[in-house]
Chains A and B, each alone.
Chain A
């Protein structure tokens, strides 16, 4: 029997800073972001990024947190006992068994974006697995106000996974494919994932090529999150975090509709939540020590 191709499956990853000897560090802290779709464990040595892992969240949140942590430390010789302070964040934050404290992903994304994009970031759009958050923050990455989308997974990673599968396009290629249209098609009228899928099926049946269908979907998703951003008000600089930040088709359309360029990340912006948590853990460890 042929194996079904899992077009939705994004690449899980891990990374260790090649030039850092964690044993020489004074304070090791970690942040674990257990999201609805993905989990990241990020390790920071003296406030500097040392290692991370990013993987799919399983049905068991404590186990997902443990697995991500194990993978992040794999091959480094580090164990959880070497980590002074752990902050859990994300939807499963209360299920991180080794966390010293929980902080919401809203605060963590703002802090993480401040690290990834620099202190000039004032507006952060976190496009996560199952929700979107528009966040305003100050030069330290402290949240001043925020909004979340309501009761619907439109404009999120899970919706994009569904589309990748429907169109049989690897999820990492969806964004660039959507930009390959000669002319922007009208957006799908429904941004509810299920109804949008129904509409897309109809478009495919009507003979639309895949790139046109996916462009229509990306356009609708971008429009939806732009309305969220407009409600909170966009102040430059503007940055996008979360898995969807890697989807160039969504990012370009948001920029176009807002008339504001999103900053280019120097790091995987899906890490922002876990990274923010690890940096908060560093601040908390320093405070505890003093």
Chain B
């Protein structure tokens, strides 16, 4: 089985994977709601962090628990819990990001009790000079809570191990992304998305092995045929592989992204320093921010532009989960910035399920505007 098939299998059978991991290791599994969760500390404690994501099926269980104008992603996540699909979890946690996903977390905590539940007050003003000390203090408290839950003291060596596991995963995925710079990349956007998604649901030590194996073979692989139109996809949480596949069936390839299921998740590493918790705090403060934390300076925009240029992006799809105000507020300015830099973009609003037919027409028409068409 090729590594990409393995990633796909892990993504599709994420619950089975976690249950088998638990049976095999006797360890605890923790479900997390946002990628600002410091997984380093969980790996240090040999807890398996798995990201809670939706399943893209219509659901009817969250209506009493989540406001109608909250995003479909947070509803889909909560639905998984209410349907009992994560009933193997020993704990849950969230780092403060937006109030929609936080509502999913609070509701989960209320209705699906677990032995551990943690709310980590990740600061919004990550650009503040006080943010580092604040977050370091919060991480120290969180570490204490994990120690209390698991009954083991976390040493510097444990934290180093946690950071090494996470950093290796980040480094290897970045190396895979590097290959997407090729005129006809050896991997498509759907492969890349499955790779990152599976890294959020499996033991990263195992994931790292697959990545290393992949990196031995992938650089030699060549794709035949005309180079496809190079797209970047930018916006809210997005694990809609069906959409990516549909768009890539139209003669396009996604070569990069700005998603928390993509580059925002793994692009930067925790840099070693004596104070381990400070190293971890700085990593999360310096990562490509979610728009909830991207102020007063818009740091995400510069990262997007850098990626778009480095990866030779011809056009960008700007997507947002319906009602995701932080992303929506950024989109007009982002579209303008891309346009000023010669990159046309097209906006799409995502829901729990997307209408593939109408979206296909839009993406196809957008691609027609990008191609040097033989029609005129």
Contacts and interface: CB of A to CB of B under 8 A. Distances in A.
B365 A146 contact: yes
A100 to B, nearest CB: 13
Interface in B258-316: none
Contacts, number: 44
B376 A91 contact: no
Interface string A127-147: 000010000000011111110
A142 B369 CA distance: 8
Interface in B359-376: 361-362, 364-365, 368-369, 373-376
A80 interface: no
Interface stretch (A101-109, A166-174, A181-189, A244-252): A101-109
Contact of A148 (B362, B368, B373): B362
Nearest to A140: B376
A151 interface: yes
Given A104-B364, A280-B375, A131 B358 contact: yes
Interface string B338-376: 000000100001000001011001101100110001111
A104 B375 contact: no
A104 B365 contact: yes
Given A148-B358, A148-B362, A150-B349, A106 B368 contact: yes
B355 A284 contact: no
B375 A106 contact: no
B357 A107 contact: no
Chain A interface: which size bin? Answer: 20 to 34
A145 B369 contact: yes
B83 to A, nearest CB: 25
B375 A103 contact: yes
Contact of B355 (A140, A142, A151): A151
10 contacts: A91-B357, A103-B375, A104-B364, A107-B369, A142-B373, A142-B376, A143-B365, A148-B358, A148-B361, A284-B375
B295 to A, nearest CB: 26
Contacts of A106: 361, 365, 368
A83 interface: no
Contacts of B374: 283-284, 287
Contacts of A150: 349
Interface of A: 91, 103-107, 111, 131, 140-146, 148, 150-151, 280, 283-284, 287
Given A280-B375, A283-B374, A107 B368 contact: yes
Contacts of A283: 374-376
B226 to A, nearest CB: 15
Interface string B77-108: 00000000000000000000000000000000
Nearest to B366: A146
A103 B358 contact: no
A140 B376 CA distance: 7
A148 B375 CA distance: 23
A143 B375 contact: no
A104 B376 contact: no
Contacts of A105: 361
Contacts of B376: 140-142, 283
Given A107-B365, A142-B375, 5 more contacts: A107-B369, A142-B376, A145-B344, A283-B376, A284-B375
Contacts of A104: 361, 364-365, 368
B243 to A, nearest CB: 15
A238 to B, nearest CB: 20
Nearest to A287: B374
Nearest to A136: B369
Nearest to B355: A151
B64 to A, nearest CB: 24
A143 B358 contact: no
A136 B77 CA distance: 39
A107 B371 CA distance: 12
Contacts of A284: 374-375
B362 A107 contact: no
Nearest to A93: B361
A143 B375 CA distance: 12
Interface in B124-160: none
Contacts of A103: 368, 375
B250 to A, nearest CB: 10
Contacts of B344: 145
Interface string B320-336: 00000000000000000
A145 B344 CA distance: 9
Contacts of A141: 376
A96 to B, nearest CB: 15
A30 to B, nearest CB: 15
